[in-house]
Amino acid sequence: MIEYDPGEGAPVERYTLTCVGFVEGDLPDAEAACQHLEGLEDPFAPVPDDAICTQQFGGPQTAHVTGLWRGDPVDLQLSRTDGCRISQWDRLGPLLPGPAR
């Protein structure tokens, strides 16, 4: 499940995606999202606690991704509040709608 909050009072958008030998779900461009995620070594790795991040603001958008990836549970909160989190967001490519990547 992908819950995307565009921020600034806009309604939260919810999408589903399945990438297990077949592609299914209502995420826009689900096929591209699955292909992109398959190409990443650890797409849902959190930002390390000791990461040094630039202090920049990428926008009010937030997202929450939950489910399973390759049999492992995923529960990842995302935002665009600093350079590390912007990079994390952008790395997920077509999984997350929102600002230009």
Domains in the chain, ordered, with CATH? 2-95 (3.30.350)
* Single pTM value for the model: 0.91
Residue among 13, 34, 15 at smallest CA distance from 23: 34
Work out the mean pLDDT of the chain and round it to a whole number: 93
- Checking if the pLDDT of 97 tops 90, the result is no
Which tens digit of pLDDT belongs to each residue from 12-39? 999 999 999 899 999 999 999 999 999 9
Residue among 20, 68, 8 at smallest CA distance from 43: 68
What phi and psi values does residue 70 have, to the nearest 5 degrees?
A: 55, 40
